[in-house]
Amino acid sequence: MADIKADASLDLRGVLCPINFVKTKLKLETMDVGQVLEIVLDDGEPIQNVPKSIKEEGHKIVEVKKEGEYFRLKIQKR
Amino acid sequence: MADKFIEDKVTRVAVKKDGQEVKMDFNDLKSGGFIKQRQKDQFTVRLRCPGGRIDTKKLMEISKIADKYSKKSVVHLSFRQSLEILYVDYKDFDNMVRDLEKIGQKVASCGPRVRVPTACGGCEYNPNGLTDTQAMAKMVDEKYFGTPCYHKFKISFSGCPIDCARTKEMDLGFQGVVEPVWDEDTCTGCTICSKACKEDAIKSHPETGKPIYDPLKCIWCGDCIRACPTESWQAKRYGHFVRIGGKHGRHPREANEAAVFIPDGKVPEVIEKTLEWYKMNGKRGERIGATIDRVGIDSYMKFMEPVFKSGEPITTGKAHKWQI
């Protein structure tokens, strides 16, 4: 599967819950519906919590890649 | 002797307060929501707030009444989520109850009966919530509040396995559960579910990333369902984990695990049958947990079988992981 092109990106490594989610949410608010935001999350609590919260806000996670000790997620704004 | 009985029938008496005569109704005291304080003539009046939820308009009215009758202008939040108005003079009971009735606020209870049910926020607004605990608490309060028992009988509802309403310490506790089911076709092997699972019940396949699910480790919290980006984890069924015979206090007793996946509609029957079993097997002054210790959990489980069959009975009565 070809990589989905991101319109913006946020490196959230080292950013604690729930600040990482809030930053994601605020970034998505500046974007248009259908655009894709790429975020990088730490393993552990961030990857446990942030995807659930993104889903609850109604956005769609379209790609997940594990890269060593962190995760690269692509979120489509809904 | 006859005189004594006649005297006992008197429920209303007149007492003097500040030189004026006021009426006192002993029926007010029957439910037990009036709790004697250390101070002479002062009582705590416990209000009935099922699930700890209070309409804001009513709360404003309650605060006016509390301000009028509390000699120290204070309320206390009880351990079972109800508002208690402190420092109320017993001679004010009649007037206070009437003021409370006008705003539709009832007084709670203490003593040997079914108490006001407690509940967390539940699925209405809490992201973790799996069951509508607030609706259940309201139903239980309307149907079973005040039912006489051999001892106090506490019911609570937790919406998820975090169990904020402490169902393990209740005479009868209901905790929300969801059974997850996985669809291979839509799964992209992203591994998020294995990260979201805090129970080590989901491992990711080292090559495909797809989940390897261990139902014996699963505590049915639904984190996998909530986290899955592709909706490959779905809810097969929701229900209540039923716990029986728990208590805290001087000698805490952890509840027996009785059944899982009991649907909402069967909750009233679980309560009714449990109270029936307690009535048949218990004795005065004995909590239901003590009855179970004395009579045996098997007796309870056998009696409850018809209703527990609506979900999965935990036949051992004490097993975190029951055998399917």
pLDDT tens per residue, range A21-77: 999 999 999 999 999 999 999 999 999 999 999 999 999 999 999 898 899 999 999
- In this predicted structure, the answer to whether residue B181 has a pLDDT above a threshold of 90 is yes
- ipTM of predicted complex: 0.85
B82: confidence class by pLDDT, cuts 50, 70, 90? very high
Asked whether residue B128 falls in the same domain as residue B51, the answer is: no
Residues of B in contact with A47 (CB under 8 A): 192, 195-196
How many Cα atoms occupy the beta-carbon half-sphere of A12 within 13 Å? 29
- In this predicted structure, the answer to whether residue A1 has a pLDDT above a threshold of 70 is no
CATH number of A8-76, picked from 3.40.1160.10, 3.30.110.40, 2.60.40.10, 2.40.50.140: 3.30.110.40
Asked whether residue B229 falls in the same domain as residue B269, the answer is: yes
Domain holding B217, by residue range, is 118-313
CA distance linking residue B58 with residue B41, whole number of Å? 27
B317: confidence class by pLDDT, cuts 50, 70, 90? very low
Interface contact B188, partner A, CB < 8 A = yes
- Reading across the β-sheet that carries B75-77, which strands appear in turn? B34-36, B42-46, B83-89, B75-77
Residue B229 has its nearest CB partner, among A51, A56, A66, at: A51
Enclosing H/E stretch for A74: strand A70-76
Residue with tokens 């009579």, as numbered in its chain: B295
Asked whether residue B74 falls in the same domain as residue B135, the answer is: no
Asked whether residue B164 falls in the same domain as residue B88, the answer is: no
Asked whether residue B89 falls in the same domain as residue B184, the answer is: no
CA distance linking residue B225 with residue A72, whole number of Å? 20
Asked whether residue B138 falls in the same domain as residue B224, the answer is: yes
The whole-angstrom distance between B127's CA and the closest CA on chain A is 8
Instruction: Note whether B223 contacts A52, CB cutoff 8 Å.
Output: yes
Asked whether residue B204 falls in the same domain as residue B273, the answer is: yes
Asked whether residue B296 falls in the same domain as residue B258, the answer is: yes
Domain boundary among B34, B68, B102: B102
A3 is catalytic: no
Domain boundary among B71, B102, B133: B102
Search chain A and give the residue with CA nearest B227. Answer: A52
pLDDT tens digits for B221-272? 999 999 999 999 999 999 999 999 999 999 999 999 999 999 999 999 999 9
Residues 6+ apart with CB under 8 A from B306: B273
Give the CATH number, domain containing residue B23. 3.90.480.20
The whole-angstrom distance between A35's CA and the closest CA on chain B is 17
Instruction: Give the CA-trace dihedral at B98, B99, B101, B106, to 10 degrees.
Output: -100
Instruction: Note whether A52 contacts B127, CB cutoff 8 Å.
Output: yes
Instruction: Note whether A64 contacts B196, CB cutoff 8 Å.
Output: no
Residues of B in contact with A52 (CB under 8 A): 127, 196, 223, 226-227
Residues of A in contact with B229 (CB under 8 A): 51, 55, 60-62, 64
Q: Among A8, A17, A31, A61, which one carries the catalytic annotation?
A: A17
Residues of B in contact with A51 (CB under 8 A): 192, 196, 227, 229
Asked if residue B108 is part of any domain, the answer here is no
Asked whether residue B31 falls in the same domain as residue B95, the answer is: yes
Asked whether residue B145 falls in the same domain as residue B12, the answer is: no
Beta strands in B115-221 (DSSP E): 118-119, 155-158, 172-182, 202-204, 211-213
CA proximity to B165, closest of B121, B123, B116: B121
Give the CATH number, domain containing residue B201. 3.30.413.10
Q: Beta-carbon neighbour count of residue B169 at 10 Å?
A: 20
Q: Diameter of chain A by CA atoms?
A: 31
CA distance linking residue B61 with residue A77, whole number of Å? 44
Tell me, rounded to whole angstroms, the distance of Cα B260 from its chain centroid. 17
Asked if residue B318 is part of any domain, the answer here is no
Asked whether residue B52 falls in the same domain as residue B184, the answer is: no
Q: How many domains does chain B have?
A: 2
